[in-house]
Structure formats: C-alpha cells, structure tokens
Amino acid sequence: MKSRIMYIERKAGSLTGTARIGRVTFSKTGKTLYYRGKKLQSLKGAGFKSNYYDLASGEDYWISGCKKDGSDRLYGERVPIKIDEDVKTEYWTEIRKLPHKKEEWFA
C-alpha cells in the first residue's frame, strides 16, 4: 500500500484536538486511510471541520499533508504536535528541510 507522512488531528467533538505527525497508508481507492490500527473513512466533504472519521469509534479527524512551514493545524494554533518515532528524521529533513532538528519529538 502507498504511504505518506501526514498531519492527523482527532477532533473529538471540538474544533481543535490532539494531533500527531505520522505515516498513513492508503487503500487502493484512496478513500480509506490506515493509521495506528485505525481505519479512517473519507467524509467526502460532508464533515464540519473534519474530513475523515474512524469506522470503529465514529470519531472525527482532520487529516492533511504536512506543510513545510509547520502550520499544520486547521486554525493555525501554535500548540506542539507530537511526531511519531518512525517518521521523525524524514519529517525534519524531507518535509521541513531542517535536518538539525531531526531528533526533536515535537513540531
């Protein structure tokens, strides 16, 4: 399956929620994403401040590509975002172009 480092924010009924930077894999059609055991289905534009939902729990998520400037949150808040261990180096070197930060856990 195809994969990509993405920004994943759990909405949990509010406008902002806990967020991570991690590797997401895509289904063949691209309408379903897989992240840390979750199966996330596209809302096809029908969500309010969310674009995917967890098929098991029904929780809403905002998932998007990571931005080079680090402004990944939907509303631009500057709350630290946890970076998964397996993508940390690639995130800092390939996406953010800041290789000196490759050991940092938060964006």
For the chain, the C-alpha Rg in angstroms (whole number) is 13
Question: Quick check: 25 and 2 in contact, CB under 8 A?
Answer: yes
Find where tokens 């969500």 sit. 47
Q: pLDDT digits over 23-67, tens only?
A: 999 999 888 999 999 999 998 866 667 789 999 999 989 999 999
Write down the pTM of the prediction.
0.89
